[in-house]
Structure 1
Amino acid sequence: MQKPGTAPAQGPDAPQPSDPSADPQGDAPIVPEAEFDAALPPIVDDVNAPLEPLRVPPPAATTAQPATPVTQAAQAPLTEGALPPAGATDPVLAQPLEPLNSFDTVPLQTVADVPEGEDAPEIAYVTEVRGLDPLNLTDEFNSLSALKEGGGKAANATQVNARAKEDEQLAVRLMKSLGYYDGTAISTIETGAGATGDEAPPGTNRRLRAIVSATPGTRYTLGSVAVKAGPTVPPDLVRRELPLKVGDPIEAARVQGAEANVALKLPQQGYPFVKVGDRDVLLDEATHKGDYTLPVDTGPRSSFGALRTEGDPIFDLDHLNVFPRFERGQLYDNRLQDDLREALVATGLFGSIGVEPVRTGVPGPDGTEVVDLMVRQTKGPQRSLAGSGGFNTGEGLKVEGSYTHRNLFPPEGALILTAVAGTQQRGASATFRRANAGRRDRTVSLTAALNYQSYDAFNAYTGTIAGRIAYDSTPIWQKTFTYAFGFELTGTAEEAYDFDRGERRRQTYGIFALPAQAVFDRSDDLLNPTKGYRLKLNLSPETSVSGGVRPYARTMVEATGYFPVSDSLVIAGRARAGAIFGIDRNELAPSRRYYGGGGGSVRGYGFQRLGPLEPASVLEPDEDGNVDLGDLRPVGGRSINEFSLEARYRFGDFGIVPFIDGGNAYESTFPKGSDLRFGAGIGGRIYTNFGPLRVDVATPLNPRPGDGKVALYISIGQAF
């Protein structure tokens, strides 16, 4: 135990007790005990008495130097009743204290203290990624980056650092996806001068730079590829459909795509129940290669059996068996199964429809197992309302509405009621239609209609009964070859110019026709084609009864082509020619003649205005002896030719279409190349999920006296 007043030396440099010469004083007290006791103030009984000053005698002379410097004030002896002189006073400390009520007592705000609805204090940062450009991963990194998602703002530096750590793991995952399994990434946060040079968002100061640095290392490749699967036909089927080979980089997308190809192709070749297992890749760090193994459960090789059904009984098995494009015993192919489901969807009668293979355990041909297809039906809406409208110069405004019950007479027996109202056309019709009638995609229809038409060419009251058998395309199911044939019985009372009498008069016609149509379609879309072509042929043998029986034939051939110049520009062209054989024009009902002009013909001219006109003798000349041909009515012809050329430029859901049309109608049996009339204009398109909305404005380039200056056409769908 040390004596009072002593302070033994300590530390690694202190002299050891075993060395007496290291300390001359040895254990001698620094302050003698008598002097220490004398320096103590006397003890009094008054506890409230002031403390006496401490009298400290000057230290004894010694040769030992203090270990640390001591200020002069500290070395000066304290005299009784006096204090050492004060040092220089800080002028700030000398000022009087501010009143308490003037202090700002609001605590510093933290992120946790921010009230709901107010913006938290933010710092700004920039993000930089290094080392991923050579791997073409920078764009993918930026799209998934937590730093990028933060938009260059964060509540504090800790949040920036946390995001950077997430991005380290992201960079490593991306490198591994390309086969760089030794890849590493590290993030650093720079401040000060290292983070300058970028403008800060409004209200923030740019002061941090988050850097993610990636080092890919060596890329791993496939050292071996093995498949564990049961026997197949052919024996190497699974390995053949797995497009991986030794030496390929172990890329996630490449490997997953190869495995997906197995799951896709085997069901197309007789294996509906194939299951691709979990791959195993054994990596060798020394050689940077991986041994790849894929287990595959192929299931039984199968052939088609029968159809089964459950759920809502919309179609019975007899009608369901109209749809398949395969035979019993045929090797299973899931594309034919998908084809069956799509055909059922196209009927529009199901809320949902499912088609799945079901094992039977029954042996089939060529060592296969028979699988049935289960059709699960869920009833959908049976009724619908539809409407359309348009405006064409010369044809006026036309609005059409329809009501359809698609399954009033099961199976697929529809009733369609249609009404048309317009400035120059009014009418109503009722149609019975049987879809998939005894054969898939075959439609049988029977129509009764009453119409009134009032055009410059003719004025007609018409009643029609028509039947049709067709193999048609629909927006859901577009077919390469379609056809239609049927009959038409029409009674019509028409007012037109009578060349024999030299005046307009009403005449009644009875017409019986056997119309037929064939279409070869190699375009890519029914309503908005962008490539391919179409060929169409119409032939209608007819008999007209009006004071006698006159048989004749109406024909029309049309070709259209679509040529993509780029993803946004398509050049479209059309050529059409028609002829009527076996009858004079004047013996034809005016509604059965050919006319040119209008939205589906030569734009720029009024509807049906192109072609022969009434003789000028029906008009009175003006004071100058001139006759305005615009007051003459077209009388139609027995032949027609037309062509059109469009440049369809699309940007997003909108498009611009400059176009030029040409053509005319002629009194002769065959069309001529002379006296062609041309129109040009520009159109706008708004593309919707049911087809483009078309607005065309055109003007005639070589008009006749009386032709209009501008024509407007509004409708749905392209002009051709």
Structure 2
Amino acid sequence: MLLAVSLFACVGLSAEKAAAFSLFGIHLWGERDAEVDTVQDPVRYTVNFTLTGGDSDLEGFLRRRSELVSGQDQPVDGDLGLLVKARDDLQILVGSLYERAYYGGLVDIYIEGRPITDIVGLPNFDRVNPVPVTVNVKAGPLFNFARIDLQGDAAQFDPAKYDLVTGTPAYSTTILSAANAIVNDLKNEGHPFAEITQREVIANHDNATIDVIIGAMAGPIADLGPVAIKGSEAVDPDFIRHYSRLKAGQRYSPEELNEAANRLRKLNTFDSVVINTGDALDDNGQLPTTINVKDGKFRYFGVGATISSIDGAGLEGYWGHRNLFGHAEGLKIEGSVARIGEASGFDDLDFAGGITFTRPGLFLPSGTLTASLLTAAENPDPYNAKSVAAAVTYSYEQGDYNTITGGVETRYANIEDAFGTEDYLTFSVPVAFDRDSRNDALNPTEGLYLITTAQPTYDFLGDTFYSSFDAIASTYFAAGADDRFVLAGRLGVGTIVGGDSLKDIPATDRFYSGGGGSVRGYGYKTISPLNANGDETGGRSYVEASVEARIGVTKNVQIVPFVDAADVSSDAFPDFGDIRASAGIGVRYLTSFGPIRLDVAVPLDRYPNGERYGIYAGIGQAF
């Protein structure tokens, strides 16, 4: 059995009943008791909701929008509280009908059989039995767009660009979104004061159509003025201005202003970043621009723990600083120990430690220098390795999605593996290209995540030159309402060329598979070619693939069946002679800080004495 769980936060469990369960203060399942302690005069009610007409999805949509329906398990405060809630619900449901293009709909709400429009003064509802509330909705006909008229500076745009198309359903949200998009498009053309001057919606109930008139005024085109910096006490204003990539004379663009603010936030140096522009042009005809920041806490630290039925317990910790010299320089010192309780002695424990320095915005606003010194003692099944490595890299952000990285690394390693014990002193020049267009790093539903590396390496002690090439790509396809179904796929390939034999290549650079980050259900790095003694040697090439379907069964819960497979070969090109695969099922609970993940996987072709299944837990999707 393989069981791995990571603990990085305090977990609070509470349940008034055995069937109820809460995690991290979030109610997961079971019946939550009504919170009546803060209600001075609790009035309970029940709702009878009926819908006449409309499409198949309308009733569910209206029920989800109705405050009366969604809140009927909780008492309201007093008679007036129920009446006010019903009157508010009337407006909500009418607006919801408009959202779905039912402009002729009728909503009637009754309390104890009386229309709420007839209830005057302070009512006196039943306190013994739940008060009966009836909600009757008549959808009426679906309204379609008829005449669409964009006026003023909006006339240059094609209405179809904003989904304003004659003959299609006239959703009110489409009209509102179109007006907002027109203003944004004008602003992105350099008009900071663009505004909607007219928005008129005319409903023709005789033929169930909607006429729309939207007028806009662009105002002057403007460039940014000198960029002022306010609020920072410890970070150099010139660095903030440089890293934001905003310059005086640059054409105004709200999109670029937003990107600049996000760029500064990602430094994690500031508690807040807000970019403001003036309400009028300055004397030079430019737009006053100010970056307002608030310094955050520069020092930080963290601790973590892991526990595994195979690898024992592990501890890790780190300390860092986010602004060493006033230019958001980062320094992180970290260390970890693993295999506690499983190692036969001190020498069999896994240790890792290091120090990493980063300097963002060096030479170019989009460039980052990273220097690190790392040491490790690793003891996975295939090898035991003690190493120390120093590296310097420079990363360049090419647009919103692409990052190019190059650098140098030197490493000394003493490794005991299937070939014996060997020392290696290597010098390499790693080059990487990454593309990340995912819409969410922890829970992606669309986009591409691609990581490619090439690493020419020379071993001075063995007089050996070899090069490693590796690429891993993940992509996502969503379907259904609110992306309830997501098909995710990952493919990885790699090869090593050069070196007379596998022994000439350090075991830490060879390819292995298996574990929570690759083929679940197999032990970590246990998928590998074997020698005559049955020892893992690692390989020169690999192909690895994973497919999983993330199926939303509720708003927050996903069931995830998955299949993983890999082939690791001794040759430079995979021969697919020993494909190892696993299948499993997982569950995800979606939270504001990412999905909580639990997977169970079974090897479909396990090794002799290999693991029968694996259990994995963590935060974030598997890939």
Q: Same-fold call, TM > 0.5?
A: yes
Q: How does 1:142-541 map to 2 (within 5 A)?
A: 203-204=128-129, 259-276=179-196, 298-324=218-244, 328-358=248-278, 359-363=280-284, 369-390=285-306, 397-423=313-339, 424-471=349-396, 479-498=400-419, 504=420, 506-541=421-456
Letter of the structure 2 residue corresponding to residue 557 of structure 1? A
CA distance in 2, matches of 1:650, 1:138: 17
Letter of the structure 1 residue corresponding to residue 403 of structure 2? T
Give the aligned partner of residue 582 of structure 1.
498
Deviation by residue 1:370-413 (Cα, 9 ceiling, x = unmatched): 21311112222222223455456765544432222111122011
Distance 1:117 1:268, change over 3 A: closer
Q: CA deviation at 1:585?
A: 0.9
Deviation by residue 1:574-594 (Cα, 9 ceiling, x = unmatched): 332222211021222222222
Question: Which range moved further: 709-718 or 412-421?
Answer: 709-718
Letter of the structure 2 residue corresponding to residue 698 of structure 1? A
CA distance in 2, matches of 1:321, 1:340: 10
Q: Do structure 1's residue 600 and structure 2's residue 517 form an aligned pair?
A: yes
Question: Which range moved further: 249-258 or 655-664?
Answer: 249-258
Q: CA deviation at 1:451?
A: 1.3
Deviation by residue 1:445-481 (Cα, 9 ceiling, x = unmatched): 11112211122222222111111112469xxxx9422
Q: Which of these residues, 444, 455, 471, is aligned with residue 557 of structure 1?
A: 471
CA distance in 1, matches of 2:541, 2:395: 27
CA distance in 2, matches of 1:291, 1:643: 52
CA distance in 1, matches of 2:72, 2:521: 56
SS of equivalent to 2:261 = helix
Q: How does 1:87-106 map to 2 (within 5 A)?
A: none
CA distance in 1, matches of 2:254, 2:191: 9
CA contact (8 A) 2:406 2:431 kept: yes
Q: CA deviation at 1:434?
A: 0.9
Q: Which of these residues, 702, 705, 709, is aligned with residue 605 of structure 2?
A: 702
CA distance in 1, matches of 2:85, 2:445: 46
Letter of the structure 2 residue corresponding to residue 485 of structure 1? G
SS of equivalent to 2:242 = coil
Distance 1:316 1:650, change over 3 A: same
Q: Which of these residues, 684, 695, 719, is aligned with residue 587 of structure 2?
A: 684
Deviation by residue 1:390-441 (Cα, 9 ceiling, x = unmatched): 4567655444322221111220111101111211521211111112323234
CA contact (8 A) 1:313 1:377 kept: no
CA contact (8 A) 1:324 1:336 kept: no
Give the aligned partner of residue 558 of structure 2.
655
CA distance in 2, matches of 1:138, 1:595: 49
Aligned length: 557
CA distance in 2, matches of 1:645, 1:246: 41
Bigger strand fraction: 2
CA contact (8 A) 1:481 1:520 kept: yes
Q: Which of these residues, 524, 537, 544, is aligned with residue 635 of structure 1?
A: 537
Q: Flag structure 2 segments of 5+ consecutive residues without an equivalent.
A: 1-38, 115-124, 340-348
Distance 1:263 1:512, change over 3 A: same
Give the aligned partner of residue 613 of structure 1.
530
CA distance in 1, matches of 2:75, 2:509: 74
Letter of the structure 1 residue corresponding to residue 472 of structure 2? E
Distance 1:508 1:516, change over 3 A: same
CA distance in 2, matches of 1:293, 1:525: 36
SS of equivalent to 2:585 = strand
> What is the aligned-residue RMSD (CA, Å)?
5.2
Give the aligned partner of residue 570 of structure 1.
486
CA distance in 1, matches of 2:186, 2:330: 40
Q: CA deviation at 1:300?
A: 3.1
CA distance in 1, matches of 2:106, 2:581: 68
- TM-score, with normalisation over the residues of structure 1? 0.63
Distance 1:371 1:150, change over 3 A: same
CA distance in 1, matches of 2:569, 2:162: 64
CA distance in 2, matches of 1:353, 1:417: 27
CA distance in 2, matches of 1:511, 1:290: 72
SS of equivalent to 1:322 = helix
CA contact (8 A) 1:597 1:603 kept: yes
Letter of the structure 1 residue corresponding to residue 226 of structure 2? A
Give the aligned partner of residue 11 of structure 2.
none
CA distance in 1, matches of 2:97, 2:563: 55
Distance 1:609 1:372, change over 3 A: same
SS of equivalent to 1:335 = helix
Q: CA deviation at 1:151?
A: 9.6
Larger radius of gyration: 1
CA contact (8 A) 1:141 1:174 kept: no
Letter of the structure 1 residue corresponding to residue 414 of structure 2? A
Distance 1:348 1:165, change over 3 A: closer
Distance 1:714 1:544, change over 3 A: farther
CA contact (8 A) 1:188 1:211 kept: no
SS of equivalent to 2:265 = helix
Letter of the structure 2 residue corresponding to residue 268 of structure 1? N
CA contact (8 A) 1:146 1:167 kept: yes
Distance 1:350 1:559, change over 3 A: closer
SS of equivalent to 1:602 = coil
CA contact (8 A) 2:54 2:139 kept: no
SS of equivalent to 1:318 = helix
